[in-house]
Structure 1
Amino acid sequence: MSNFKMDVFNLDGKIALVTGGIYGIGFGIASALAAAGATIVYNSNTTEAVAQAEKDYEAKGIDAKGYVFDITDEEAVAAAIKQIEEEVGTIDILVNNAGIIKRIPMLEMSAADYRQVIDIDLTGQFIVSKAVIPGMITKGHGKIINICSMMSELGRETVSAYASAKGGLKMLTKNICAEFGEHNIQCNGIGPGYIATPQTAPLREEGHPFNNFIIDKTPAARWGEVEDLQGPAVFLASDASNFVNGHVLYVDGGILASIGKQP
């Protein structure tokens, strides 16, 4: 008889911070963590975005608390984490989701644009992780989930900065594992494939060359849905993954396993 119990996936009593958890992938992951029992805290760098997200969470019956801070501002992040600890409690789960992409050919991209992407998509994840880890060490456990990308493994035209940042985030994931694993902190990544979100809607129109390219390239023969990321996120946030560390779980419909169909 197995000793396995399904309650290892239960997140009751856990506090989860989802950076940029205002829409899309971040909102979807936060919603799943809430369904598993976690208390949700999220952020954006504008008051308007936080207020709109609060309404969206309320509409789903989720009591989430939003904070306004810029993940690239070390002092602001430290102050916000201190405030969250005082008002809600010590963070058990951090989802480093906030990020941007600038699709600009490399020879046309300014160093300023490149630095901005690196700052938000990599340095910001370092800053927020650094701010929450001491509380996790004190508590004796913690889960950090970095939202990586297939661009942690692959290159593609126009995304030199994004791929550089996501490749760096993959290695930051491994390094947090190496440095803090002994404190019962697990740091893993989720690498989404091409996901159907409002931002990708124009690319997914029937007949669009990119839509056809992705469907042909993906063994699952479809775009991913935000819901496809929810189970993996709950797994990596829960006690079910207590011996999984430094790993990037690619949720990509099999793209990274295949060179594509023969034309």
Structure 2
Amino acid sequence: MSDRVPGRPRLAGRVALVTGAGQGIGEAVARSLHVLGATVAATDLRGPTVTTWVDELNRDTGDTTPGTGTEPGVARAYQLDVTDRHAVDERVARIERDLGPIDILVNVAGVLRTAPAAELTDEDWSLTFAVNTTGVFHTSRAVAPGMAERGAGSIVTVASNAAGIPRTGMAAYAASKAAAVMFTKCVGLEYARHGVRCNVVAPGSTDTPMQRSLWTDDEAPRRVLEGDLATYRTGIPLARIADPQDVADAVVFLCSEQARHITMQDLYVDGGATLR
């Protein structure tokens, strides 16, 4: 019997691991899964950052155990460096001991290093791929086999619309995200017969600390909306910069039974900026 409810994903009883949950999109995703009843392992390299909001969340909700799907779930904070495969394997094992088998993985952890391609340092390139690509590899490899054994699971990688369109000054970031996209789709193909769905959400400009780090003056948001011919950027047809919740809503949909027949897809959440 399906647990699909028209208009509302129902995630009670599911265990979700979210990386990069300390702020921005990752935090919005973790909070959304929690509200819909999932038991959430919210992880971030900066352990105290994620611990702070998780503790506040649990105090507000009374740390309610999931039940009907309308009650919030449980959230737990864990420090995690996705670039360290041993740390990932250990943390996944601990989360499953603490909370139960992982049903949902959302890869959000990411870094951005900007520079013209020829001016990127080796460290810029290595770190960008270590987090944005190898991190996705480490976490997906750690959870996918268990999902397959249980005959169900959902992996969602939060990439970027930069993975599908060239960007000046963002070669390392765009290339790392494009690699993460194709890796996620390949995992989806290999594990589809075992009931594991793997999808990608590709945000555009979203009001997060990462986005704001690119703004050099008060006119920057306007340039994002209107476009910038000098950097070969179109504007945003919907004329608004996304809120992290816009991206989180797309992620939650792909994690839920409402998307049970969707896998290996790349959902752009960018207000039409890439004209796709």
Q: How does 1:180-195 map to 2 (within 5 A)?
A: 180-195=191-206
Q: Tell me, in whole angstroms, the C-alpha distance in 2 between the residues paired with 1:95 and 1:65.
A: 15
* 1:53 aligned partner: 53
> Letter of the aligned partner of 1:173 in structure 2?
T
CA contact (8 A) 1:173 1:247 kept: no
Q: Residue 78 in 1 paired to residue 53 in 2?
A: no
> Letter of the aligned partner of 1:253 in structure 2?
G
CA contact (8 A) 1:23 1:53 kept: no
Q: Tell me, in whole angstroms, the C-alpha distance in 1 between the residues paired with 2:187 and 2:212.
A: 35
Q: Tell me, in whole angstroms, the C-alpha distance in 1 between the residues paired with 2:30 and 2:5.
A: 23
Residue 57 to residue 144, structure 1, CA distance change in 2 (3 Å): same
- Provide the aligned C-alpha RMSD in A: 2.1
* 1:104 aligned partner: 115
Higher mean displacement: 46-55 or 83-92 = 46-55
CA contact (8 A) 1:8 1:238 kept: no
Query: How far off is 1:155 after superposition?
Result: 1.6
Number of corresponding residues: 254
- Secondary structure class of the residue paired with 1:255: coil
Q: Tell me, in whole angstroms, the C-alpha distance in 2 between the residues paired with 1:6 and 1:203.
A: 39
- Secondary structure class of the residue paired with 2:188: helix
Q: Tell me, in whole angstroms, the C-alpha distance in 1 between the residues paired with 2:10 and 2:22.
A: 23
- Equivalent residue for 1:68, pick from 71, 79, 84: 79
Q: Tell me, in whole angstroms, the C-alpha distance in 2 between the residues paired with 1:191 and 1:235.
A: 14
Runs of 4+ in structure 1 off by over 6 angstroms are none
TM-score normalised per structure 2: 0.86
* 2:189 aligned partner: 178
Query: How far off is 1:207 after superposition?
Result: 4.9
* 2:252 aligned partner: 234
CA contact (8 A) 1:43 1:50 kept: yes
Q: Tell me, in whole angstroms, the C-alpha distance in 1 between the residues paired with 2:264 and 2:250.
A: 15
Query: How far off is 1:54 after superposition?
Result: 2.6
Structure 1 unaligned spans of 5+: 259-263
Query: How far off is 1:206 after superposition?
Result: 8.3
Question: What is the aligned-residue identity percentage?
Answer: 32
Q: Tell me, in whole angstroms, the C-alpha distance in 2 between the residues paired with 1:59 and 1:189.
A: 32
Q: Could you report, residue by residue, the CA deviation over 1:72-113 in whole angstroms, capped at 9, with x for unpaired residues?
A: 111111111111111110000000000100112222211222
Q: How does 1:181-260 map to 2 (within 5 A)?
A: 181-201=192-212, 207-208=218-219, 210-216=220-226, 217-257=235-275
Structure 2 unaligned spans of 5+: 64-73, 227-234
* 2:25 aligned partner: 25
* 1:261 aligned partner: none
TM-score normalised per structure 1: 0.90
Higher mean displacement: 236-245 or 101-110 = 101-110
> Letter of the aligned partner of 1:58 in structure 2?
N
CA contact (8 A) 1:205 1:211 kept: no
Residue 205 to residue 74, structure 1, CA distance change in 2 (3 Å): closer
* 1:90 aligned partner: 101
- Secondary structure class of the residue paired with 2:274: helix
Residue 113 to residue 30, structure 1, CA distance change in 2 (3 Å): same
